[in-house]
Structure 1
Amino acid sequence: MSDATTFDFLQLAGKTFLVLGVANRKSVAYAIAKMIEQAGGNVIYVVRSESRRDSTAKLLNDRDVRICDVEFQDQIADLAAQLEADNIELAGMVHSIAFADYPDGIRPFHETTKQQFLQAVDISAFSLTNLCNALKDRFANDASVVTIGISTTRMASESYGFMAPIKAALESSLAFLTKSFSRFSQVRFNSVSAGLLKTSASAGIPGYVDSYLYAEQVIPRGKAVHTDEVAATATFLLSPRSSGITAQSIVVDAGMSINYFDAAVVSAVTNSEFGSR
């Protein structure tokens, strides 16, 4: 089957999608946007600042790039006003935004400050609801909204700081958004819950690289999830072909969650100095 046939199957051609969260070439949002464009869709890119627009100018050459820092209500309102003035109807939106402030590095969860937690909730979770409310009149009746979660919010991974409970709030909001929007539309809300990815953002998290290398040992196929695999799932969820899926978190972890007790990994741990204590 040719690529053209595959992309025609998605029925994205000629439709417009809002993609938030492109920071660089390694961003999940950028991988999703590329697939939308390859399928014939149009992408409006939203970055958080003028400096980010400047830093991505070469990458997003000749693209429609808007600015919106979701931490500020007036900027969200301004984005909605711009899209209304341009008479843009959105077939979907990609919310690939997350932020956590670790000024002193990763610390024990119970030492998380109120300011840190609430800021991260605002930017990483509430922004989805806030944006959808502001843009509700811009969405097509059957639009699809996709956000990026994590493969599990129940695992107390020390290298992820306090973000797992915040991602849990993000994923929980999908059901409530689906329900409330169903009163006037058929807009769908889903999440791609990604396993450990090699991105610029993750590289800056203390201890993340070791967790990534461990994941490669646990995953049955022996290699970690690739950004394009997450993007492909998100692009499918944006398409009419996924019309029966809503309020779901689709896990893309290459089977990591079924293989924690792989014999080789267990043996390596039990035979180590740590395992002999």
Structure 2
Amino acid sequence: MTHTLLEGKKGLIVGIANEQSIAWGCARIMRDAGATLAVSYLNEKAKPFVQPLAERVEAPIFMPLDVRSEEQMQSLFQKIEKEWGRLDFLIHSIAFAPKADLHGRVVDSSVGGFTQAMDISCHSLMRLAKGAEPLMRDGGSILTMSYYGAQKVVSNYNMMGPVKAALESSVAYLAVELGPAKIRVNALSPGPIATRAASGLSDLDNLLSVAEGKSPLRHLIDLEDVGNLAAFLASDRARAITGGVHYVDCGYEVVD
């Protein structure tokens, strides 16, 4: 990764939980590419795990953000406006579903569990995009994280399949709505990685094994692979790319 790809860019990273987080892979690569980063953390319990990582990428803005809190979201964007006056890119890398609903059949999912999963995993992208829009005065890039289970049925992915499908559809609609302001919206669809979030899936080891064995490149991706693609899509070199779902999965999506 060139050290000047994101030189001078200001970006917000939402979703770092620990060193295994996809959001951390993005933050590390983007910082190496020259970006200045704002980093959020979920709550006080998460803060001790995220703060050392924020310090490693020299984030001048480090604030709490539970995406269900309108007050916290407003405070974060107000801080960015005060300190920077603009925002060039946003990484949305959060997803949640109650364990009982995630491990059960889709047909058995509860109203409350499905609503919560949609709110945190999908609608939060819309709320963050709305907050970022006035700060992206000269255009910008908004990126979110999806998964192959949005397109095809993946064993044990269960309720997150419909939720990620909604997220991918939202990317297309946001791209059209924000396009006139030169704001690009894209989704990355990484192959399976042993992250903290993925550990909530039952039979994760089998999912990883199948992906490694069936992908054309015969290996799994890592956080750096995702970060490299995110950095490119956030850069001016991707100025004509919007509204898409971009796979980084060693080619697994082309295999039946």
Q: Which runs of 4+ in 1 moved over 3 A?
A: none
Q: Partners in 1 of 2:102 and 2:84 — Cα distance?
A: 45
Q: Which residue of 2 aligns with 1:30?
A: 24
Residues 1:101 and 2:98 aligned together: yes
Three-state SS of the structure 1 residue aligned to 2:194 is coil
How far 1:88 sits from its partner (Å)? Answer: 3.2
CA contact (8 A) 1:151 1:252 kept: no
Q: 2:254 aligns with which of 252, 255, 258?
A: 258
Indicate whether 1:147 and 2:144 are aligned. Answer: yes
Shift of 1:151: 2.6
CA RMSD of superposed structures (Å):
1.7
State the one-letter code of the partner of 1:67.
P
Aligned to 1:275: none
2:176 to 137, 158, 179: 179
Helix, strand or coil for the counterpart of 2:124? helix
> Following TM superposition, by how much is the alpha carbon of 1:104 offset from its aligned partner in structure 2, in angstroms?
6.9
- Map residues 39-118 of structure 1 onto 2, 5 A cutoff: 39-61=33-55, 63=59, 64-103=61-100, 106-118=103-115
Q: CA deviation at 1:87?
A: 4.2
TM-score, structure 2 as length reference: 0.93
| Structure 2 residue runs without a partner (length 5+) | none
Deviation at 1:105, TM superposition (A): 6.2
Task: Evaluate the alpha carbon distance shift between residue 187 and residue 46 of structure 1 in structure 2; reply closer, same or farther with a 3 A threshold.
Answer: same
Taking every aligned residue pair, what percent have the same amino acid on both sides? 29
**Aligned length, in residue pairs:** 253
Corresponding residue to 1:241 among 229, 237, 240: 237
Which residue does 2:225 correspond to in 1? 229
Structure 1: distance between partners of 2:221 and 2:79: 36
Name the stretch that deviates more: 41-50 or 134-143. Answer: 134-143
- 1:273 counterpart residue number: none
Larger Rg over CA atoms: 1
Shift of 1:34: 0.8
Is 1:217 aligned to 2:204, yes or no? no
Structure 1 counterpart of 2:225, one-letter code: E
